[in-house]
Amino acid sequence: MRNWLRSLFGSQKEPALTADLQQRIRRSFEESAADEEHFPSTIDPRILHVRVILETFEDLTGKRVLDAGCGKGRFGRVLLGEYPGVRLHAMDIAVAMLRFVEAPLMPCAGSLTSLPYADGAFDCLYATESLEHAVDIERAVGELCRVVKPGGRIVIIDKNKDHWGRLETPEWERWFGEKELAGMLGKHCRKVASRPISYWEDVDPDGLFLVWMAER
């Protein structure tokens, strides 16, 4: 199956972010909101994808945080459980996904390439497996950095392009090289670090996921 996928998808194509494509992406996620198996509303708080966000952001009490591409808000609920005083905004392209996002999370519909927030609005921001759907990646990275204040922290967790073809993907999806995305973040941030990440502490990373941590 993997070889078949590699031959089918081969290299990643970079389509233009047209209005029609953006509508198709939005419609795809609107429909996916009903699929709890593949788009769950909860997540195990012990997985490293959650822990690295908490460790990078440190004490979130009273801070304003954005979950960019929040889906059903599963990461946000964990952060609220750890820090009830955090002001956590949850943004997603699909309104159907946002119906699962309840107070005190603050839901908002929007696009990664045109975030509906002011410059420097957030102390911290994270994007977990959402940037891969932005299509215009350079523009989306610029937007993610724009809405974080100087000195604020950013965490992006996404898939490694060296493993492209390992999973079936929609035609617009794009994965990133470790240095590739670090370079994009470095245009806007003072510090950028990255590394492979697994789901569990006792399991070595298999290369599929990478995490980038940046400071504006």
Tell me the pTM.
0.93
Overall average pLDDT of the 168-177 stretch: 95
- pLDDT of 30-51, one tens digit each? 999 999 999 999 999 999 999 9
Sign of CA dihedral 49, 51, 56, 58: positive
**C-alpha span between 129 and 69 (Å, rounded):** 8
Per-residue model confidence as pLDDT tens digits over 173-210: 999 999 999 999 999 999 999 999 999 999 999 999 99
Structural domain containing residue 83: 2-215
Residue 5 has pLDDT above 50, yes or no: no
pLDDT digits (tens, 9 = 90+) for 62-104: 999 999 999 999 999 999 999 999 999 999 999 999 999 999 9
d(C-alpha 210, C-alpha 206), whole Å = 10
CA distances from 139 to 72, 124, 134, 196 (A): 24, 19, 9, 24
Q: How many domains does the chain have?
A: 1
d(CA 78, CA 109): 21
CATH number at residue 17: 3.40.50.150
Contact 77, 103 (CB under 8 A): no
DSSP per-residue letters across the chain:
-HHHHHHHH-S-------HHHHHHHHHHHHHHTT-TTTS-S---TTSHHHHHHHHHH---TT-EEEEET-TTTHHHHHHHHH-TT-EEEEEES-HHHHTT--TTSEEEE-BTTB-SS-TT-EEEEEEES-GGG-SSHHHHHHHHHHTEEEEEEEEEEEEBGGGTTSS---TT---B-HHHHHHHHHTT-SEEEEEEE-SSTTS---SSEEEEEEE-
Six token digits for residue 139: 């523009």
Nearest to residue 133, comparing CAs of 6, 12, 3, 36? 12
| Residue 9: pLDDT over 80 | no
